[in-house]
Structure 1
Amino acid sequence: MPTPVRISLSGLTIPAVSNLQRRLGLTDAVIIGLGSMIGAGIFVALTPAAAAAGSWLLVGLAIAGVVAYCNAMSSAWLAARYPQSGGTYVYGRERLGDFWGYLAGWSFVVGKSASCAAMALTVGFYVWPAYAHAIAVAAVAALTAVNYRGIQKSALLTRAIVAVVLAVLAAVVVVVARSGRVDAAYLQLSGGTALGVLQAAGLLFFAFAGYARIATLGEEVRDPSRTIPRAIPVALGLALVVYAAVAVSVLAILGPDRLATAAAPLAEAVRAAGAGGLEPVVRVGATVAALGSLLSLILGVSRTTLAMARDHHLPAGLALVHPRFGVPHRAEVAVGVVVAALAAVADLRGVIGFSSFAILVYYAVANASAWTLGRHLVPTIGLIGCVGLAVALPPQAVVFGVALLMLGALTYVVRRLR
């Protein structure tokens, strides 16, 4: 058996708890992080952000990027200290207490379930807008069946999806820039409010989902104490550049008012640029991105559900693993049913807002946990940013989010009193 490796992060020596091979370098980590971020969110999140802040959505995008950076760095430091599955569910439990770990896990499950519904609805609106909800339910059912049989998205497939999405986004930017129909007046910052900018930032935070994936690579990268802190800002920076280019292009061709009402904003942008022939390509790219994100999201939510069921925070039956396929089949079916029900009736903007609220709560716990490690500046900015963006989201998202958090807390108390 190989000798366990010990790594050091700013003077803290941490024993490795497994023998995973350290094959990934800086470039690999950056690609994985970029692949986790560049997904379907950018195809839909610009619309509610424009409705909230108009042309000020570009400032909101920058704020969302800063908060995402702080969250990812806090997660990286915690992942080095606790290289276990479960993310902030583990970090909150170990650093703040069992309740805070549970609250983070609960927020992750409900928030990412909403993200699944948003991705499914993205498929629906780009494939067949008139039947978006029906298409969304069908997509959830199909991918739940795929995951049930133990078929997971490979690294090769992830890279292929990222390549397709980047190519489509680049095509949108180039076509709009060369159309001669952009109006620089649309980019002038006017008419926005501070609340609107923060609300746009909270909604655009949805498009950065997955950025902390790099923080989970502590056992698989070479020299993780150097590689992970370097890979996170590079991957986030690249994603922010891509998002900014797309946001500027779409805003410049549609204007904030038209963008605020677009069901499929990137498809509408190429149509407005006089390149209607590219619209089917954009719709295919959005569909591929959304299906890829939905596949991995269902997988992640079902595994967190499994972990919480094992700890008796959720019904124990959800912890059962299929004897043949080796997957938490009951958890996957339960998640699929909940997501399909949401996708059948929910409003796309509503689920984006609620998903952002729950995941911001999740990362607020991560930042609070990282603060106890003795690192104060970045976790403090991250914590304040998460709380500020969460409460600035649309009122219905905040009310629904607080209600579900209270339900989760009540469930925890009832379980502890038994």
Structure 2
Amino acid sequence: MTHKPREVVTTVALGLPAVLGAGVFAGFAPAAGLAGWWVLPALAISAFAALCSAFSTADQSRAYPDVGGGYGYVRAQLGVWPARMTASAHLLGRAAMAGAVASMFGAYVVPGQPVLGALALVVATALLGAVGFRFTTGVSVLVSVVVLGVLALVVASSFSIAPVPSAGEAGTVNELVGVAGLMFVAFAGFERITAPHRGEQPHPPSVLKIAIPVLIGLSFAVHLAVGAGVLRQLGSARLALSPAPLRDALVAADAAALVPLVQVAAAVAGVAALHFVLASAHRTLTGLAEDGDLPTRLRPGALSVVVAVAAALAVVLMPLGLALGLAACSTLFYYAFTNASARVLLQNDRTWPMRTACLGLGLSVLLAMSTPVPALLISLAGLGVGTGLIGLSASVRTTLKGKREAEREHTPQGR
């Protein structure tokens, strides 16, 4: 018990780099365009949905420690086809999130050539993962300190000088729930601590019981402070048009000298967040291959290439706002399935009550269906196409396997 506070701090430090990414650096622009200042109370709804989903994944990770994340949990609890739908939603959401993180990096770090900068980040991060680089506790703490320190400077600068009067305000309260769905991306990295990958030490339930609320609460506080700062300094109408809100808020607050620090923080946060996004997608693909839903001959290197190519396509094909919306909507569908799966866990496998999974399920569906229409339509189409392709791949593999076995049975022994 004497080591629990230290373990909680370590666990939260491991999770912070996964949640301080595209949401805090770029998410407020499209959100402000929809709901204006209402994005701030919407963050509370997003955080609560994330908290319920984090509880569900933590419970399931403890019950099924060796499976491929949400796909594996749903397969074990609900069956094959719901698991394939879960995998489709997760992979689409991860690809869109990777594109959003990379585009955020390009907008801040390489503003003259943002697409090239984003593609370079995808390639570099994929290579880091391929050579076995891992974010240790020490590296995670360093990333967290750098990013949180710079964000604190942005907030202080935004409130230190009176803003120029805004020409108008954007957004309405009618978009409150939709923006809550969009801003779910601000918290979607919690699986870094609730569902460790194979080979990583799982965190004790007693530690997670404190670390999960602390991680979500700290992320909420950071996003709330940053959102209030950039909204105050830029106004919702101007913020909605900004490709790099934190940079523009510093310029508006007569603190342009701090822009290089924001670029450093965006670069550090971009590498960390993208690393976790790509690793998460890789885990789902690995689970699909191991269960026969994808060709089992696919090697880890080939799966890494698939993930990187999907991220690069998202960068090229989608603007940042659409990528964030698609990432949020698809990820919410993914958590709808994982929360539904968590509801049927046996009571003795639980740390948190079943009501949290029920709330998580309801909120995930509500928020996903309230996201911007283009993101919702693409998510639904991707969910259907992805599920069909996974089912077709499994069917073809089963057919070919049956033919090979039949041929062996009819082949003479001495031939």
- TM-score of the pair, normalised by structure 1: 0.86
Match of 2:306 in 1: 334
Q: For residues 182 and 238 of structure 1, what CA distance do their matches in structure 2 show? A: 30
Deviation readout 1:15-65 (Å, 9 max, x if unpaired): xxxxxxx99722222222333322342100111111111111111111101
User: Aligned to 2:64, which of 63, 82, 95?
Assistant: 82
Residue 229 (structure 1) shift: 1.7
1:139 Cα deviation from its structure 2 partner: 1.6
Alignment partners' CA distance in 1, 2:294 and 2:196: 27
Aligned with residue 207 of structure 1, among 181, 186, 204: 186
Which residue number corresponds to residue 409 of structure 2? none
Query: What is the rounded CA distance, in whole Å, between the counterparts of 1:335 and 1:36 in structure 2?
Result: 18
Counterpart of 1:359 in structure 2 is: 331
Show the counterpart of 1:316: 296
Report what 1:10 is aligned to.
none
**Letter aligned with residue 296 of structure 2:** A
In structure 1, the partner of 2:350 is: none
Secondary structure of 2:135's match? coil
Quickly say closer, same or farther: Cα 1:172–1:108, change in 2 above 3 A.
same
Q: Equivalents in 2 of 1:362, 1:45: separation in Å?
A: 20
* Rg larger in structure: 2
- Counterpart position of 2:376: 398
For 1:46, the equivalent position in structure 2 comes to 28
The 8 Å contact of residues 13 and 144 in structure 2, kept in 1 or not, is answered as no
1:386 matched residue in structure 2 = 364
Q: 1:348 to 1:184 in 2, by over 3 A?
A: closer
Write the distance in 1 (CA, Å) between the matches of 2:181 and 2:364: 8
| Deviation of 1:385 (Å) | 0.8
TM-superposed CA distance for 1:70, in Å, is 0.7
Partner SS state of residue 130, structure 1: coil
Equivalent residue number for residue 276 of structure 1: 256
- What letter matches 2:362 in structure 1? I
The one-letter code sitting in structure 1 at the alignment partner of 2:186 is A
Structure 2 residue identity aligned to 1:60? A
What residue identity is the alignment partner of 1:244?
A: L
Contact 1:106 1:408 in 2 (8 A): yes
CA contact (8 A) 1:203 1:393 kept: yes
User: Aligned equivalents of 1:155 and 1:169: distance in 2?
Assistant: 21
The unaligned stretches of length 5 or more in structure 2 are: 348-352, 400-415
Give the counterpart letter for 2:268 in structure 1: V
In 1, the alpha carbon distance for the partners of 2:246 and 2:373 equals 27
Deviations 1:154-205 (A, max 9, x none): 3322221111100110000111122233879999xx96233x1112111111
Aligned residue in 1 for 2:344: 372
Query: For 2:389 and 2:134, how far apart are their aligned partners in 1?
Result: 32
Moved more, 305-314 or 408-417: 408-417
Structure 1 distance, partners of 2:121, 2:166, is 39
Letter in 1 for 2:97: S
Q: 1:416 to 1:124 in 2, by over 3 A?
A: closer
Deviation at 1:332, TM superposition (A): 0.8
Counterpart secondary structure, 1:43? helix
1:176-191 mapped onto 2 (5 Å cutoff): 176-181=158-163
Take 2:286 and 2:21, find their aligned partners in 1: how far apart are those partners? 25
Report if aligned partners of 1:43, 1:265 keep a CA contact under 8 Å in 2: yes
Counterpart check, 1:253 vs 2:233: yes
Q: Report the secondary structure of 2:242's partner residue.
A: coil
Residue 220 of structure 1 and its aligned partner are, at CA, apart by: 3.9
RMSD, aligned CA: 2.5
Matches within 5 A, 1:69-148: 69-148=51-130
Q: Structure 1 residues 27, 151: CA separation in 2 closer, same or farther (over 3 Å shift)? A: closer
The 3-state SS of whatever aligns with 2:254 is: coil
Residue 227 of structure 1 aligns with an amino acid whose one-letter code is V
Aligned residues: 385
Correspondences of 1:52-67 after superposition (within 5 Å): 52-67=34-49
Q: Which residue identity does 2:16 align to in structure 1?
A: L
- Cα displacement string for residues 336-388 of structure 1 (whole angstroms, at most 9, x for unaligned residues): 12211221232111111111111111111111111113543211211111111
1:305 aligns with 2:277: no
How much does 1:99 deviate? 1.5
**8 Å contact kept, 1:44–1:264:** yes
Distance in 1 of aligned mates of 2:338 and 2:384? 19
Distance in 2 (CA, whole Å) between partners of 1:215 and 1:296 is 13
Q: 2:406 is matched with which residue?
A: none
Partner of 1:4: none
What are the superposed Cα offsets for residues 67-123 of structure 1, whole Å, 9 maximum, x if unpaired?
001101111222222222412112111111122222222222221111111111111
Gaps of 5+ in 1: 1-21, 321-327
- Of 207-216 and 70-79, the range deviating more from structure 2: 207-216
Q: 1:279 to 1:89 in 2, by over 3 A?
A: same
2:13 touches 2:140 (CA, 8 Å); kept in 1? no
Give the corresponding residue for 1:198: 177
Distance in 1 (CA, whole Å) between partners of 2:316 and 2:232 is 33
Report if aligned partners of 2:180, 2:367 keep a CA contact under 8 Å in 1. yes
Q: Check whether the contact 1:140–1:339 (CA below 8 A) recurs between aligned residues.
A: yes
User: Residues 192 and 113 (structure 1 numbering): CA distance in 2 closer, same or farther, change over 3 Å?
Assistant: same
Q: Which residue does the alignment assign to 2:219?
A: 239
Q: 1:140 to 1:213 in 2, by over 3 A?
A: closer
Amino acid at match of 1:345: L
Code of the residue aligned with 1:112 in structure 2: it is R
Distance verdict in 2 for CA 1:226–1:98, change over 3 Å: same
Aligned residue identity for 2:192 = R
Taking the aligned partners of 1:166 and 1:185, their CA distance within structure 2 comes to 31
Return the offset for 1:210: 0.9
Identity %: 34
Tell me the CA shift for residue 212 of structure 1. Answer: 2.9
